[in-house]
A and B are shown apart, each in its own frame.
Chain A
Amino acid sequence: MNAMPLWKRVIILAICAWGVVAAAPNLNYTNIERHNDALAAVEAAGGIATAEQQADLDLWPNWLPSNLVNLGLDLRGGAHLLAEVKVEDVYKARMDSLWPEVRDALRDQRDVVGNVRRLPSPEGTLRVAISEAGGVATALQAVRALATPVVSLTGVGQNDIDVSAEGLEIVIQLSQAERAATDDRTIQQSLEIVRRRVDEVGTREPTIQRQGADRILIQVPGIGSAAELKALIGTTAKLTFNPVIGRTSDAGASPGPRNLLLPSMDEAGVYYIVEETPVVTGEELVDAQPAFDQNNRPAVNFRFNPSGARKFGDYTAANIGAPFAIVLDNEVISAPVIQSHIPGGSGIITGSFTVEQSTELAVLLRAGALPAELTFLEERTIGPELGQDSIDAGKTAAIIAMGAVVFFMIACYGMFGTFATIALGINVALIFGALSTIGGTLTLPGIAGIVLTIGMAVDANVLVFERIREELRNAKLPGRAIQLGYEKAMSAIVDANITTFITATVLFAVGSGPVRGFAITLGIGILTSVFTALFVTRVLVEMWIGWRRPKTIIV
């Protein structure tokens, strides 16, 4: 028979050896994981290890492979959140900030357009009334002069605002191109801020990624409850300092034009009337730290950037004795009276916080405000114990499945069954090796995928062995029968596995989370099982034939 050339054998055996080496670290999962975590922490700290970290580092030598399979949330436990960003929020903010500019532009043309007044309008549009009918054209021109071209690939040649006239009213809204560009920016910003907030909490390997047009997928392994995570991510954390006009206990009080009626955070039934336009906002903060006030109550220290500090300083200097409100997400944290001019740009927020709350607020202020509100569409929390139970159950099932299949194969095919068994072992090693190397995620359906692969992996072997049997029945010599067996079984094996691979690809494309994990293991399993069945068993069989040189073989 035509044996495989030596170089082919060497490559095949080398791949097998690589699989075993790459999969091996997973046998010592806990220790290596601690080693890897410590290594990352030490690198982040600039190479200085604490005694504890050093102990973890010593659990596994650095020069050995240490790539591990990622465990999915359903196995490790953790929280999975799918949030939708309300991109429309930003349109409103944009229109509100455009109003002063429009007002100033029209005031410059006062003799032509007459009085200028902002009218109530749906969110995302700005409606301005002028009093002189002859001034509409001039007003349109003045407002259009405020527009700037959109900088984006699809919006070339378009301006950021659409301006039109309805009688004496000028209607301004964001153009289609600007909306698309704004949406994109909003999502990017939200992603960044969510990432910063999650990083501040210091959980390991969170996944934060954009999904579709306006969604963010957040997966944080290893935390027991999604509530805490949601509190952290879902808070907009928009901090503003607004002048206070009055205080009331009437929830239905009319705040007057351009003013807001906001509830107090601590005192039930107390409302503040504040000016809508803030003196300074949280965007101008450079730092926030949890602290204690002079009465030793938890508080948050903050510091403004130079422009924020100037605005804050000017305002406090001019309004000594007047109250101003510290507003977080439309609730008044506190409304202290300005005692003196505060020039340095730093201050302290007090309220009835617990230490946890003040720490959380500091984190939120440091990370910055979300540009738009997040709503949660999907939420899954899996406790670590349930995950461990699933791992154990999966392990038991895999071992039993393996044992049964091995018994079955050896009973049916004798020596050839043994080769198939060795190939099966290598197959499982290759799956884990490949998963570890590409950083694939193992999920519970993924374990089922491996168990299924264990069952199906022998299929290709069975095809070959049955074929060899047939060829032997046609009175072929052992070497020739084996060669023909492999050659003739090839097309069936390839066709059958390509179709299965197609379904794995479709699963990967449309699935998410655990289902995608299943698609990955199934896909890798198909590749490795074809490889082991066509090449590994063949090398083993040929080596055996070359060694024993049997006159007849029984398959």
Chain B
Amino acid sequence: MAFRLRLAPENTNINFFAYQWAMLVTSCVMMAASVALWAVMGLNFGIDFQGGTTIRTESNQAVDVGAYRQALTGLDLGDVSITEVFDPTFDADQFVAQVRIAAQDGSEAVTPETIQAVEDALKAVDPSITFPSVESVGPKVSGELIWSAILAVLGASGAILIYIWLRFEWQYAVGAVAALVHDIIITIGVFALFQIKFDLAIVAALLTILGYSINDTVVIFDRLRENLIKYKTMPLRDVMNLSANETLSRTLMTTGTTLIALIAMLIFGGDVIRGFVFAITFGIVIGTYSSVYIAKNLVLMIGLDRTDKPKKGTPDEYANIDA
């Protein structure tokens, strides 16, 4: 027998419902904590959603945040934040910082004079400084971008809800979308906790998580649908456990390969898209968890209409665990 790497034993018989209440409570607590963090700490919105200007500076001299700040205080710009950026892909003499200027009061559009003034002030501090990227978004556009982002997430969730409903049954759709909401809220909570910049790219990441998580959920649902036909008399709970066990090997395999690819991107992909890749990586872990523990469990709680089986939802369905 040839050697095969196995992520899961050949025949698992894990009872995925053993800790269902603990899992459910944990998930609810995490969601509540996320919402609380979101409300208390707020999200570190990027200029896409808040308006303002970010300037990326690069120099062959070490970044002196204090000196930069000193240079900019005279310009009366309001809220200015300066952060040094570190990345393993940088050269030894490559020093990068990010200067963020809040949207200037009373202007709907971008003010080129402000940007010029900032660039001049920084050049005075460090003559070798260059500005590899300058991005400005006016408050008018950022307000619209927030809406289009919210619409995107709602639209995608709605479309998925309808598709699953058409392909399966409404109970599946509710379970799947509840799992998606769970994934997205917790991911946003993590962004609030670590104050990672939240911009348009992160919304794209959220939508990707949505797609991935639903992918995982659908695979389990598909097997469940098949097994429900095969084992007409087996209690729903057991059919679910069987389906989750049968697909476990695949779930771990896919999550594993995707995570490997993403971790490579996280380490070597550069700092510009680190937040984006981080969001997807985190979301895939949480998405895998939610498809195994949330989506399916909710379907069990709602109950399925197994019309072929007259005795449905009898009390012994819950007692009949032989795991």
Contacts and interface: CB of A to CB of B under 8 A. Distances in A.
Interface of A: 74, 82, 84, 226-227, 230, 375-383, 385-386, 389-390, 392-394, 396-398, 400-402, 404-405, 408-409, 411-414, 444-445, 447-448, 451-452, 454-456, 458-459, 462-463, 466, 470, 473, 488, 491-492, 495-500, 502-507, 509-511, 514-515, 518-519, 522, 554
A351 to B, nearest CB: 23
A497 B56 CA distance: 38
B208 A381 contact: no
A222 B27 CA distance: 48
B136 to A, nearest CB: 4
18 contacts: A82-B141, A377-B138, A378-B137, A381-B135, A383-B132, A385-B132, A386-B133, A397-B269, A400-B264, A404-B257, A452-B262, A488-B226, A496-B215, A503-B208, A507-B207, A514-B200, A518-B208, A522-B208
Given A398-B264, A408-B5, A412-B5, 7 more contacts: A397-B268, A413-B4, A454-B261, A459-B250, A496-B219, A504-B211, A510-B149
B123 interface: no
The 5 closest A-B pairs by CB, nearest first: A455-B261, A455-B258, A393-B270, A401-B261, A500-B211
A377 to B, nearest CB: 4
Contacts of B204: 445, 507, 511, 515, 518-519
A496 B260 contact: no
Interface stretch (B76-84, B157-165, B232-240): B157-165
A511 B218 contact: no
A380 B201 CA distance: 15
B151, B167, B256, B260 interface centre (most CB from chain A within 10 Å): B260
B102 interface: no
Contacts of A463: 219, 250
B22 to A, nearest CB: 28
A383 B133 CA distance: 6
Interface of B: 1-7, 10, 56, 58, 89, 108-110, 112, 116, 130-138, 140-141, 148-149, 151-152, 155-156, 159-160, 163-164, 167, 200-201, 203-204, 207-208, 210-212, 214-216, 218-219, 221-223, 226, 246-247, 249-250, 253-254, 256-262, 264-265, 267-270, 272-273, 276-277, 280
B136 A455 contact: no
A475 B112 CA distance: 73
A147 B273 CA distance: 57
A315 to B, nearest CB: 37
B198 to A, nearest CB: 14
Contact of A452 (B218, B226, B261, B272): B261
Contacts of A382: 132-133
Contacts of A380: 133-136
A462 B252 CA distance: 10
A506 B264 contact: no
B248 to A, nearest CB: 10
Contact of A514 (B6, B201, B210, B246): B201
A497 B215 contact: yes
B200 A506 contact: no
A227 B136 CA distance: 12
Contacts of A519: 204
Given A444-B273, A503-B211, A405 B109 contact: no
A379 B132 contact: no
Nearest to A80: B135
A455 B265 CA distance: 11
A514 B276 CA distance: 12
A447, A507, A519 interface centre (most CB from chain B within 10 Å): A507
Contacts of A82: 141
How would you classify the secondary structure of chain A's contact residues: helix, strand, loop or mixed?
helix
A499 B218 contact: yes
Contacts of A497: 215
Contact of B207 (A393, A396, A400, A506): A506
A378 B164 contact: no
A381 B261 contact: no
Contact of A412 (B7, B116, B163, B267): B7
A422 B145 CA distance: 41
Contact of B270 (A377, A389, A458, A466): A389
A503 B222 CA distance: 19
Contact of A507 (B152, B246, B270): B152
Given A226-B134, A380-B133, A393-B270, A503 B156 contact: yes
A500 B259 CA distance: 17
A350 B45 CA distance: 50
A462 B221 CA distance: 17
Contact of B259 (A455, A473, A495): A455
B265 A448 contact: yes
Contacts of B218: 492, 495-496, 499
A383 B130 contact: yes
Contact of B163 (A462, A502, A522): A502
A401 B265 CA distance: 7
A495 to B, nearest CB: 5
Contact of B265 (A451, A462, A502): A451
Given A377-B110, A448-B265, A515 B201 contact: yes
A507 B273 CA distance: 17
A397 B109 contact: no
Nearest to B269: A397
Contacts of A458: 253-254, 257
A510 B134 contact: no
Contacts of A379: 110, 112, 134-137
A82 B160 CA distance: 32
B141 A502 contact: no
Contacts of A394: 265, 269-270
A500 B273 contact: no
Contact of B215 (A381, A400, A451, A500): A500
A307 B130 CA distance: 51
Nearest to B258: A455
A79 to B, nearest CB: 9
Contacts of A455: 257-262
Contact of A466 (B89, B207, B253, B268): B253
B133 A459 contact: no
A398 B260 CA distance: 11
A400 B268 contact: yes
Contacts of A473: 10
A376 B264 contact: no
Contacts of B149: 510
A390, A470, A510 interface centre (most CB from chain B within 10 Å): A510
B110 A393 contact: no
A386 B136 contact: no
Contact of B272 (A377, A386, A522): A386
A444 B204 CA distance: 12
B250 A462 contact: yes
Given A408-B5, A451-B264, A499-B214, A386 B259 contact: no
A488 B230 CA distance: 13
Contacts of A511: 152, 200, 204
